[in-house]
Structure 1
Amino acid sequence: MDLSILNDLKLTKVAVSKIDTFDFENVKFGEKFTDHMLICEYKNGEWGPVEIKPYAPITLDPSARVFHYGQAIFEGMKAYKDENDDVWMFRPDQNFERFNKSAVRLAMPVIDETRFIGGLRELLKVEKAWVRKGLGNSLYIRPFMIATESGVIASPSNEFIFCILLSPAKSYYSGKIKVQIADYYSRAANGGIGAAKASGNYSAQFYPTKLAQEAGFNQVIWTDSTHTHLEESGTMNVFFRINNTLYTAPTSDRILDGVTRKSLIALGEHLGYDIKIEPVQVDTIVNAAKNGTLKEIFGAGTAAVVNQIEGFAYKDDYYQLPDVSDKDSYALQLKEALTKLQNKLSDDPFNWTTKL
């Protein structure tokens, strides 16, 4: 990491912090932000200096390429504070690497580790008081990049903005959800951008999800273009437990390489779970639901960590999953193990946590 890059860091602090009037107990996920943000511009073939300044709107030309051709990527991360008031990041190297993979796929410039992780460290130092300790509390981190060059010609932008926002978060839990397995719409295709954390991936999901919600379901489990294999659940990776074996699909052009997903796999193996990473057929899950061997389905992602699924619909049939006690639930065991590790309430045998 070339720390000399950060010697030019420009820091402008707010005159008065809003932290004393902030309701940390009733914050809704992703709605409110801290006092400051990080911003860095790409022009003339290179990244400029890093700036930390008061959170404020960004002014763009109406013809900025992001509005017309969707060159936009982002990441989702979290920071935690332990009982000694030390702040920890969770696997930031994985988000940094995936961010640049997304950038390459969308013909955007990669960003160096110093500006991404080094800049994030500096921003977290400024906003350290916004990270609240206690299991369930965290600071959500949203790095993103957008194309800013003006002009509506259909070509990649030559100018970009990289930005990091911070948002206090409480434990995210909406209860068990009901899902619908997609048999018409697809999230992604081979050779597409499903493995990139591109903004367009999410906007394309909104309409089919809206239809599922109108039918009485919370989310969609996405299938491949042939609708024979299960891939992701909503905006999360998805796991299936048949008897005492946990299945999840391998990553591909269509499936995001989720940091929570890979962490749960490693944790599960460490705990002695039988985990198989292989294509998961719709028929396999439907048949397992019919014969009673399907015990659990759950999504895995940064915001919720784990989201349990109580049942699913496929075509005209609905399948209710059995009630598994909390102590026997793989979903809850894994969630507890990961959140304790992230909050420094248990050992970290993988060295995933990085001290600020």
Structure 2
Amino acid sequence: MIIQKTENSRISSFDPENYSFGDHFTDHMIICEYENGAWGEAKLMPYGPLPFSPSNMAFNYGQACFEGMKAYKDSSDEVYLFRVNKNFERINKSAKRLAMPEIPEEVFVGGLKALMDIDRAWIPTGEGKSLYIRPLIFATEEGLKARVSNKYMFAIVAAPATSYYSAPVSVKISDYYSRAASGGVGFAKAAGNYAASFYPTQLANDEGYEQIIWTDDSTHEYFEESGTMNVFVRIGNTIYTPPTSEKILDGVTRDSFITLAKHKGIDVRVEPIAVKDVLAAQKDGSLKEIWGVGTAVVTTAFKSYGYQGENFELPVLSEEESFALSLKKALVDIQTNAAEDPFGWREKVEKDVLQTV
């Protein structure tokens, strides 16, 4: 790895008590370029802009995918990553679907650990705080030709993170727009998936909802995801979540929630969730919770939902009563080294990683 440390750290200008999600970036970034059929040597370098032409093929034809990860500090100021192998596997799954070259493990994992080590001072501590990490791959060849690019860039950037939502949100169940279609790229973290979701979300915002529960593209009768999150529904004391598919992202937080719930003895059913069943549970009083999970938010509880002009309130539960909140606490405790990790998910970032890369 080529290492170029910044000569002017910006850490003194960062206030760890006053910042918002994703607005500040650490001193360094990882860059690795692909050309002539091979990935070059990774570079750790000062964070900053890169020169690109408007004819860059990523801008014109959308070859771009990314991951979302976090690093955490414990009470002893040690740094930990979480389920890195899952993100490594998924970025390459996304890259393959978008006809982009897969990134080597030594570049992804080695670059990630080197960046976390050198910028560990940027990782905030405290409830709901972490360092959000964005690995991404995108085309860089210049050319207005609708074909696969011959050049790519892999990058990792990181930003201090705080709570994404400060309170439970209201959501609208979509009966027209869909997030993904059969045969498409819904299972990949393709940049275009997010661009296509913004307009329907704006429409929902105009109606007073913060987010959307996406339904299937053919019938709009089944839950798929919510906003940029996987979705969970609790009816009685059973948790339901849709199975992953070519339309639903295989979320790392989703998988972690399922594993933790089963570990706690909670009945979890990975099966389609019909809108009519949710409405029936609402009517008979057995609908207890609906929530979303994802790396950025960890967990977002829903306070109400709208469907075809009607609005429905969800019960207000304490942390002890709520499956969503109790599972969130269990997960964050593992991530921050505040609890035992029976699953081997947590990975410590050793100091002076740069001496070994």
Q: TM-score, normalised by structure 1?
A: 0.96
Q: Distance in 2 between matches of 1:142 and 1:25?
A: 22
In 2: Cα distance, 1:164 partner to 1:287 partner = 45
Distance 2:75 2:256 in 1: 23
CA distance in 2 between counterparts of 1:315 and 1:336 reads: 34
Code of the residue aligned with 1:123 in structure 2: it is: L
The alignment status of 1:251 with 2:244, answered yes or no, reads yes
For the residue of structure 2 that corresponds to 1:327, the secondary structure is: coil
Which residue does 2:117 correspond to in 1?
A: 125
Name stretches of at least 5 consecutive residues in structure 2 with no aligned partner: 350-357
Counterpart-to-counterpart distance in 2, 1:192 and 1:59? 31
Could you tell me how far 1:75 is from its partner in structure 2? Answer: 0.4
Q: Is the 8 A contact 1:135 1:339 kept in 2?
A: no
Q: 1:61, 1:150 within 8 Å by CA — same for their partners in 2? A: yes
SS at 1:220 equivalent: strand
In the alignment, structure 1 residue 42 sits paired with structure 2 residue 34 = yes
Name the structure 2 match of 1:196: 188
How far off its partner does 1:65 sit? 0.6
Query: 1:289, 1:39 → 2: CA distance?
Result: 50
Q: Deviations over 1:194-214 (max 9, x none)?
A: 000000000000000000000
Identify which of 282, 302, 305 aligns with 2:298: 305
- Report how far residue 355 of structure 1 moved: 1.1
Task: Return the offset for 1:84.
Answer: 2.2
How many residue pairs get aligned? The number is 348
Residue of 132, 146, 149 corresponding to 1:140:
132
1:93 to 85, 89, 99: 85
What secondary structure, in the 3-state scheme, does the structure 2 residue paired with 1:295 have? strand
- Say if 2:232 is the partner of 1:239: yes
CA RMSD across the alignment: 0.9
Once residues 71 and 145 of structure 1 are traced to their aligned partners in structure 2, the CA distance between those partners, rounded to angstroms, is: 8
CA distance in 1, matches of 2:13, 2:202: 35
Q: Which runs of 4+ in 1 moved over 4 A?
A: none
* Counterpart contact for 1:149–1:159, Cα < 8 Å: yes
How far does the alpha carbon of each residue in 1:148-182 deviate from its partner, in whole angstroms, 9 at most, with x for none? 11111110101001000011112333211111001
Taking only the aligned residue pairs, the percentage that are identical comes to: 53
Matched, 1:270 2:258: no
Structure 1 residues 171, 313: closer, same or farther in 2, change over 3 A?
closer
Distance 1:179 1:128 in 2: 36
Question: 2:326 aligns to what?
Answer: 333
- TM-score of the pair, normalised by structure 2: 0.96
Give how far 1:193 is off: 0.2
The answer on 1:110 being equivalent to 2:99 is no
Following the alignment from structure 1 to structure 2, what is the Cα–Cα distance between the partners of residues 335 and 267? 10
Q: Which stretches in structure 1 are left out of the alignment for 5+ residues?
A: 1-8
Tell me, yes or no, if structure 1 residue 209 matches structure 2 residue 201.
yes
User: Quick one: distance in 2 between partners of 1:173 and 1:335?
Assistant: 14
Query: Do the aligned residues in 2 keep the contact of 1:145 with 1:160 (CA within 8 Å)?
Result: yes
| Matches of 1:349 and 1:135, distance apart in 2 | 22
What is the letter of the counterpart of residue 243 of structure 1?
A: G
2:23 corresponds to which residue?
Answer: 31
Residues of 2 paired with 1:155 and 1:121: CA distance?
34
